Amino acid sequence: MGGDGRREAERQIEELSRRIGELDHAYYGLDAPLVPDAEYDRLMRRLEELEALHPEFARADSPTRRVSGEVRSDLPAIAHPRPMRSLSNALDDEEARAFDARVAQALGREAVEYCCELKFDGLAIRLRYDGGVLVEAATRGDGTTGEDVTPNIRTIRGVPLRLSHPVPGTLDIRGEVLMYRADLERLNERQRAKEEKEFVNPRNAAAGALRQLDARVTAERRLHFFAYELEWEEGSEPRLPSPRPSPSGSGEGVGEGASSVPTSQFDLLDRLAYLGLPVCTLRERARGFEGLRAFYERVAAARSSLPYDIDGVVFKVDALADQRELGELARAPRWAVARKFPPEEALTKLLGVEFQVGRTGALTPVARLAPVFVGGVTVSNATLHNEDEIRRKDIRVGDTVVVRRAGDVIPQIVGVVADLRPGDAQAVEFPTRCPVCGSAVVREEGEAAARCTGALVCGAQRKQALVHFASRGALDIEGLGEKRVEQLVDAGIVAGPADFFALQVDRLAALDRMGEKSARALVAAIEGARNPELSRFLFALGIRHVGETTARDLAQHFGSFEALATASEEELLAVPDVGAVVAASVHGFLREPRNRREIDRLLAAGVRCREQAAVRRDGGLSGKSFVLTGTLPTLTREQAAERIRSAGGRVTSSVSRATDYVIAGSEAGAKLAKANELGVTVLDEAGLLELIGRV
């Protein structure tokens, strides 16, 4: 390689070493990762490649020559009796196959037996037991020196303070401290309530909890521990009690409770569990590469159902004698490898933000990304949730962002790499007009979502709005269910409610699964809906916050649609039980030009609302609450409800202590039982008519 190439290699080695050092400090020292693990692994692998090509430029303090990590200056330091090394990675089947081939060749075997375990995404810990009593706990730190977290470890209920069976001498046990996903969610809920920083993932939450100066803080955060290794100096092998008699000829154990030296990794884990240490039960013995791959695939399929995060599996040569023969490299043992899953997080560029309109009018920002492979697929879009989430994470167009995709979960942006932000990054601006129909977009106080106000005309909301318009509580047009409405919209026959009233028999009869008889019945049903009660018409329009009861209150107060359509917000607030939110919603809906054009089309199609008389609010039923249940002898429920409302009463759907009367007919069920339980007055139809007649 020429001089320019050598200088470039030297520059890259220096830059990579510096960057990895920054990332190590953020991850291990501050418990605040800057990039996903996959990006860190990519940088480390590139540095290893360059140093292999140019060993003359490899620094003595290169990150490739030590275990990543550091010791915090505010925690006591503890030297490890033996270095706590990390594991080499296998990123695909070929690298896992190559690992198996190297091991088999070194041992002179055709096939090697392995112990397959999970690779936890937590914090590596060494526990020391002296005479069976926990006396010391330390983080991995930089591999040779860790932090003393003994008081904090003692707060983890799964870690025994005394082993359940006596073991003489000293045991140094390695394992992982982690936080379950559900516990992270509860912790972040508390953090939000206190307006404090939330944790990005369970691993960093566990690290932050374990490295507290005050162990009481650790105790408040539920942590777990899994043991997976026991270390000892050669020639001082520990004798451990066995959990069960040895299978004939296996050489593992000499009888239940008897002590002997473990001969395999699998046997060692069984014995650690027998001592009362938490050991993961999801482990298997496997033979050769095909066995390793089968375990990997089974765990990958079950990964999302686990209560904790893992980022791969670990393959260890099972026989401990074989492990000693294979030995270790500077950073990792030759007898083990971590088979990593495809990264669930990756870095990419945010190219832009588009806005999708849902069936209810809610606007969802969608990130358009430079394509990136994450979670086993190539991702180019991710959800940004809502405006508050974008502002909280300070996401800007042009940023380098962290994209996460776990299992079948919709990809999402979990953070920004702030130190990679370009100078021309732009803030995300939310539209004031719907990107689909151009109607005004509003965001009501206390709500996370912004919404399009053009419910009647917005293409994104069209099908749901039309189904609602024809539904039972609205215009009640029989035959216009969800599937029929979808068919009419997809065929281009109906775009808005007014189009229902222009449907012709011959056009409908030509549709699939319709026929002339069904077409005539549908047209007749539509004709019968041309003169709805004002309350039904108002409810049919789909005005946000206007249910059947509010629609009835508005209709009875104003009497006609013309009076309601010209009412000011102050006049709307004069309607009993109508507050500022409802008044603003009604006023804004009826003044949105696109909505008014569709309403004018309805009126032009011959739709005329029947006026409704004002209720007797000063009558004897004023302020009284009623619930109807069962079948009445002569009145339908709607007829009975109308009589109650005309006398000033209110009809609700559920029984509570605030209910004044339950009107019960035949086959009344749970509502009648609830009324009897609460002591609510129960009347039959005759009793209701008598009560109304007295007022």
Q: How far is CA 184 from CA 32, 179, 209, 389, 450, in A?
A: 15, 7, 11, 19, 29
| DSSP β-ladder status, 400-404 and 123-130 | unpaired
Torsion of CA 653, 654, 656, 660, to 10 degrees: 40
- Structure tokens, 284: 């298997």
Answer left, alpha or beta for residue 686, where phi above 0 means left and psi between -120 and 50 means alpha: alpha
Rounded to whole angstroms, how far apart are CA atoms 78 and 136? Answer: 9
User: What is the C-alpha radius of gyration for the chain, rounded to an integer number of angstroms?
Assistant: 35
Q: What b-and-e string marks burial along 260-279, b requiring 16 or more CB atoms within 10 Å of the CB?
A: bebbbbbbbbbbbbbbbbbb
* 631 secondary structure, DSSP code: B
Active site residue 671: no
Q: Which of 119, 316, 340, 671 is catalytic?
A: 119
**DSSP H helical ranges for 574-627:** 580-591, 593-604
Helical ranges in 532-649 per DSSP H: 534-540, 548-558, 561-565, 569-573, 580-591, 593-604, 637-646
Q: Which residue has the tokens 């009367």?
A: 661
Bridge partners (DSSP) listed for residue 153 = none
Burial class for 679, CB neighbours closer than 10 Å (0-12, 13-18, 19+) = exposed
Residue with tokens 């490649």: 49
Q: What's at 60, amino acid-wise?
A: A
Phi then psi for 122, rounded to 5 degrees?
A: -140, -145
Task: Tell me how far apart the alpha carbons of residues 382 and 344 are, in angstroms, rounded to a whole number.
Answer: 13
**DSSP-derived 3-state class of residue 249:** coil
Q: For residues 70 and 28, is the Cβ–Cβ distance under 8 A? A: yes
| Residue 327: CA count within 13 A, CB half-sphere | 3
How many residues are present in the chain?
695
Backbone angles phi, psi at 399, to 5 degrees: -70, 155
Distance CA 307, CA 120 (A): 11
The enclosing H or E element of 452 equals: strand 451-452
Cβ distance 413 to 401 under 8 Å?
yes
Q: Where are the alpha helices (DSSP H) in 479-533?
A: 482-490, 505-509, 515-527
Q: Report the candidate in 281, 259, 346, 344 with the shortest Cα–Cα distance to residue 309.
A: 344
Cα separation of 25 and 248, whole Å?
51
Mapped onto helix, strand or coil, the DSSP state of residue 234 is coil
What are the structure tokens assigned to 601, written together? 């089309």
- Give catalytic residue positions: 119
